[in-house]
Amino acid sequence: MNIRKHLLSIPLLLLSFGLIATSAQSAYAQSSRPKPQITSISVDPANEFVAGTDLTFTVEGTPRGKASLKVAGIERVISMSEVERGIYEAEYTVSRRDRISAKSTMRATLKVRGRAATKTQALGNGSALPPPVATTPPPVSQVGQLAIQRFSVTPVNKIEPGADLRFVMNGTPGAKASFTIEGVVNEVPMQEVQRGQYEGGYTIRRLDHFPSGVPIVATLEASGQTMRAKLNQALVADAKPPVIKNLSPRENEVVAGNPVQISGTFDDSGGAGIDVKSVRITLAGADITKNATITPQFFSLRTELRPGSYSVEVNAKDIAGNAVRRNWTFTMAAQAPPVSTVLPLQVVSHANNAQVSNGAVEVRGRTAPDAKVDIQVQAIAQIAGYFGLNQQIYNQSTRSDANGNFAFTFQPQIPVPGARFEINMTASKADLTKELRLVLFQQK
């Protein structure tokens, strides 16, 4: 009985010895593996850490590992990709929340087959690097019919370098999501943080150009299907109401003769832009909105009026909901004044509120023969929440020919789509003067 018991225990002893030997071999193999090495850490640029700057980090060391970087003053850990054998890279745009300088430390961690190495140095020790290599997102699983219920953004106070734009999209779960800011960045991945809720962000770079109303589109893809949704929300937390200016006829002007053009321009001072559906125009108490041409830049109406005094009221809101109301009066003369007391001045080309192409813009007009015409052109461009361009680009005088014709040409130094050109012309001859304003818009 005892012999049998001892015989049964022999396999158990052998198994135990085998496990011990295997564990010992594994421990020996792990201890015998060389520890990974980090030979260098660098950043480009190495001396510019203001908001909106693109930084490229590079770590060189043992290949086939997993590298990450922690920078003092940046909340998150920056993951890195092995773009070449033993070379790991990552790109990061400095946010306005970050608090970093050349003295901030960066600590790299490199893990290879269960062992890790670290290296720490100041950001200011970086050097120039090659551009990062884009990674390919993982494939998505099969899903049903795609749908996007909502695409929104958390508004920022100002569109400026380092500002963080945070987008949220709600739609079909388990798909691949991204967003594109036209002319700025394409197909930025969005992560599914909850079932059917995708989030993504973009930190504005120093050279980014955000024109007013820039299209931002979310894309959802899966199972060969693609669904897109445009952002119908302002990027800027707009609290300033728009302004209505360049009125025609001018306030208290006496108009001699039909037809008369009633018009004005909208100026939202870099805000969210005018909601054209909110515009309401009344003339002498009658609603004439449906007869007017209304755009985010201007409103215009040509009509025939009897002699008398007329009041105009325009109500509008910008996309953020800020309201504006402007009212003024003008008078239609009972009869035209004698020709001898009036200096003619009219624009032959272009029509008021017309769009002009890029490049030189020629304006042709007509006045009395051999009259002096003083011309000033102001260029006004509003970039939503970013900056405003307001400068005089033309200030000269010319004389009309024997038939009263005159022409001049101006060209903006920095063409900006949607820019407004306010052209003031003053004709003078003998003791007579006549003023005229023309508004043109740069094509988008």
Q: In sequence order, what are the residues at sequence separation of 6 or more whose Cβ sits closer than 8 angstroms to the Cβ of residue 209?
A: 183, 184, 383
Structure confidence at residue 313 (pLDDT)? 97
- Provide the token pair at 32: 């015998």
Largest separation between any pair of C-alpha atoms in the chain: 142
Residue 18: CA count within 13 A, CB half-sphere = 6
Q: What is the CATH number of domain 341-444?
A: 2.60.40.10
Spell out the CATH class of 239-337: mainly beta
β-bridge mates for residue 344, sequence order: none
Ranges in the chain, pLDDT < 50: 1, 7, 14-15, 17, 19-21, 24, 27-28, 126-141, 384-387
Amino acid symbol at 434: K
Per the CB < 8 A criterion, the answer to whether 316 and 275 are in contact is yes
Structure confidence at residue 126 (pLDDT)? 46
Spell out the CATH class of 148-230: mainly beta
Q: What is the pTM of this model?
A: 0.51
Chain center to CA of 365: 38
What is the number of other CB atoms lying within 10 angstroms of the CB of residue 191?
A: 10
Structure confidence at residue 93 (pLDDT)? 87
Structure confidence at residue 294 (pLDDT)? 94
**What is the topology classification, in CATH, of domain 38-125?**
Immunoglobulin-like (2.60.40)
Domain boundaries, the chain: 38-125, 148-230, 239-337, 341-444
Per the CB < 8 A criterion, the answer to whether 322 and 329 are in contact is no
Classify 66 as helix, strand or coil.
strand
- Taking the C-alpha atoms of residue 12 and residue 94, their distance in angstroms, rounded to an integer, is 62
- Taking the C-alpha atoms of residue 178 and residue 95, their distance in angstroms, rounded to an integer, is 21
Respond yes or no on whether the N-terminal peptide bond of residue 307 is cis (omega within 30° of 0). Answer: no
Structure confidence at residue 316 (pLDDT)? 95
Classify 104 as helix, strand or coil.
coil
Q: In sequence order, what are the residues at sequence separation of 6 or more whose Cβ sits closer than 8 angstroms to the Cβ of residue 228?
A: 148, 217, 218, 219, 220
Q: Do domains 38-125 and 341-444 have the same CATH topology?
A: yes
Structure confidence at residue 234 (pLDDT)? 73
Chain center to CA of 176: 23
- Taking the C-alpha atoms of residue 15 and residue 218, their distance in angstroms, rounded to an integer, is 60
